[in-house]
Amino acid sequence: MASSLLPQSPGFLPYYLIYSGVSAILHSVACYRLEPARSLQAFSGPARPPLTGLLARVYATKNLYTGLIRLYAAYHVADNPQLYDLAACTFAGVLWLYGTELAVYGTVRLREASVPFVTAGAGLVWMLVQRGWYRGL
């Protein structure tokens, strides 16, 4: 029963997509349910924005669709090249978000941006390097 819930594609990328998708959705739930000061702790740089409910919900919505794309892609990495590329774009989007917030706007510090940089960077590089292999299945 449990094995029928797991992706059937070979390799570990589908599991990484599940991990990152579930993580994004859980953070989305936290942004909707918790106080903005708790759910948006990453935005604690020198130019920190006001942590409002609206900001938390916008961030939650971004995390929700990002997580759903990654979860869906986990089950279709070998048979849907457009979805594969879209999932890779979600990692690029996270790098863009935290990169600009760190370097341009100053709303995050490197300490808070390091986890998204590592996880999104690893996911994007992995997907770019392995694209040909997964497309050849």
pLDDT band at 136 (very low <50, low <70, confident <90, very high): confident
pTM, 2 dp: 0.92
Signed CA dihedral, 32, 33, 39, 40: sign only: positive
Structure confidence by residue, pLDDT tens digits, 62-99: 999 999 999 999 999 999 999 999 999 999 999 999 99
pLDDT band at 10 (very low <50, low <70, confident <90, very high): confident
pLDDT band at 137 (very low <50, low <70, confident <90, very high): low
Nearest-angstrom CA–CA distance, 16 and 124: 11
- In percent, the amount of the chain with pLDDT more than 70 equals 97
pLDDT over 90 at 7, yes or no: no
- In percent, the amount of the chain with pLDDT more than 90 equals 89
> Which residues lie closer than 8 Å to 137 by C-beta, 6 or more apart?
9, 10, 78
pLDDT band at 131 (very low <50, low <70, confident <90, very high): very high
Q: What pLDDT shows up at residue 1?
A: 58
